Amino acid sequence: MSTGFTDCMSMSPVVNLAGYGIEADHFRSLAAALPTGVTVVTTLTADGAPVGMTSGAVCSLSCEPPLVLTCIGKGSQTLGAIKQRQSFCVNVLASGSDAISNRFATSGGDKFTDVDWRPGPGGLPVLTTGTTAHAICELYQVVPAGDHEIVIGLIVAGDSDPSGSPLVYYRRGYAGFDALA
């Protein structure tokens, strides 16, 4: 009798013999097969300077209370600033905003030069062009997870443009997404 499931024992796994799951390159290849929305997570440093980073690891978590999560590398300047500031903004990038994504995907430097933004609630940087939505969040919880931390935010304000098409990252490249009518 067939269950309809693939026989996992007959597959050839790529195993990390150190006991930590599959090899990093194999993991990246698997992750590239998952299309993700592209966001820029922003906040302010203790001195009030804007900082931010590109994140494809963002998703809604709960409606009651309204929670969103993002996964951020432990060494990230943005992560440190979020923990200190206790708030952040998730900016959902629009189709065609590849340059903004690439700018915020680099480390160091002033990423806000030549990027349109305004101070939102609490002064948080809200990108004003190249986005379809933004969510202002208060830090709710931080959960350690491997070489990243899962940052959970309580959404306290936000806005969206229903006519906008989001930027999608898939197989290590950008694409637009036209919503089904």
Q: Are 118 and 80 in contact (CB under 8 A)?
A: no
- Amino acid, res. 100: I
pLDDT of residue 179: 60
pLDDT of residue 107: 87
pLDDT of residue 13: 53
Q: Please, what sign has the CA dihedral across residues 150, 156, 162, 165?
A: negative
pLDDT of residue 2: 41
pLDDT of residue 131: 97
What torsion do the CA atoms of 170, 82, 128, 69 make, to the nearest 10 degrees?
40
pLDDT of residue 25: 87
pTM assigned to the model? 0.85
Distance between CA atoms of 167 and 98, rounded to whole angstroms?
Answer: 8
pLDDT of residue 28: 83
Helix, coil or strand: residue 147: coil
Alpha helices in the chain (DSSP H): 24-32, 77-85, 98-104
CATH architecture assigned to 18-159: Roll (2.30)
Question: What tens-digit pLDDT sequence spans the chain (181 residues)?
Answer: 444 444 444 444 555 555 678 888 888 888 777 888 999 999 999 999 999 999 999 999 999 999 999 999 999 999 999 999 999 999 999 999 999 999 999 988 889 999 999 999 999 999 999 999 999 999 999 999 999 999 999 999 999 998 889 999 988 889 877 664 3
Q: Count of residues for the chain?
A: 181
